[in-house]
């Protein structure tokens, strides 16, 4: 896989709370220049990104129930609808980790399903399972529940908790969801070498703030 083709896997990410409008605009311009798959930004900035990316093929990913996943289902649904109305094309929602750990599977599944239904097939829905907080059994169960709820992707991490994208987790997630669902590796993806390893393991999308470094074959910093 060459450097240019890997750009199509990358959600060019800026989720820092101190991000400014100028930084979001720069992120969008970089995404257009390098032909990244989407920009991944907080909901507040979606309208700005839509205006900036209107003449491009770059999508807009935003985060829902972020970064803890412990907001109510109703609030996640509202966030999802508002984000799509503002221009989001992909929704990265955080699973309710506490309910997952408590084996309240129906609560977890209904939370995800409500977001999927709120998206009304207008946006791709990815479920962030936060692998750094989970046992392998919990990772498997989170993936199974995401699939049952109709999600399009499962995703490793928010980047705001423990750990990040690990090759073993990507393999486990891919084995669990099968060939049709997407698997997004995020957190600590900072080099072309790491990106290639994760894609080989089964990732079909990469979340990274080091996208430019990755496509240039350099070592990046940050998320």
Block residue for tokens 């109703």? 74
Q: Give Cβ neighbours of residue 161 (< 8 Å, ≥ 6 apart).
A: 67, 130, 132, 133
CA dihedral 28, 30, 32, 38 (to 10 degrees): -60
Q: Which of 126, 115, 135, 137 is nearest to 204 (CA)?
A: 126
Cis before 67? omega within 30: yes
Which H or E run includes 124?
strand 124-128
* Known catalytic membership, residue 139: no
How many helical (H) and strand (E) elements, i.e. helices and strands, does the chain have? 10, 8
Are 194 and 217 contacting, i.e. CB atoms less than 8 angstroms apart? no
Looking at 109, 113, 139, 155, which residue is catalytic? Answer: 155
* Known catalytic membership, residue 184: yes
Q: Give Cβ neighbours of residue 55 (< 8 Å, ≥ 6 apart).
A: none
Looking at 11, 37, 76, 92, which residue is catalytic? Answer: 92
Residues tagged active-site? 92, 155, 184
């Amino acid at each position: 896989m060459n450097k240019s083709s890997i750009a199509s896997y990358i959600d060019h990410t800026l989720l820092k709370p101190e991000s400014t409008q100028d930084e979001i605009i720069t992120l969008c311009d970089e995404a257009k220049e390098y032909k990244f798959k989407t920009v991944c930004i907080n909901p507040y900035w979606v309208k700005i990104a839509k205006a900036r990316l209107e003449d491009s093929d770059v999508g807009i990913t935003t985060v829902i129930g972020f970064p803890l996943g412990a907001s109510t289902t109703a609030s996640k649904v509202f966030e999802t609808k508002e984000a799509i109305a503002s221009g989001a094309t992909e929704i990265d929602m955080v699973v309710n980790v506490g309910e997952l750990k408590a084996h309240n599977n129906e609560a977890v599944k209904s939370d995800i399903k409500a977001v999927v239904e709120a998206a009304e097939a207008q946006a791709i829905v990815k479920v962030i399972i936060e692998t750094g907080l989970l046992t392998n059994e919990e990772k498997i169960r989170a993936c199974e529940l995401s699939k049952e709820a109709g999600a399009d992707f499962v995703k490793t991490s928010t980047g705001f908790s423990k750990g990040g994208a690990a090759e073993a987790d990507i393999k486990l997630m891919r084995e669990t969801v099968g060939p049709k669902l997407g698997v997004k590796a995020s957190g600590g993806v900072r080099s072309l070498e790491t990106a290639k390893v994760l894609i080989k393991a089964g990732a079909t999308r990469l979340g990274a703030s080091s996208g430019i470094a990755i496509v240039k074959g350099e070592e990046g910093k940050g998320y």
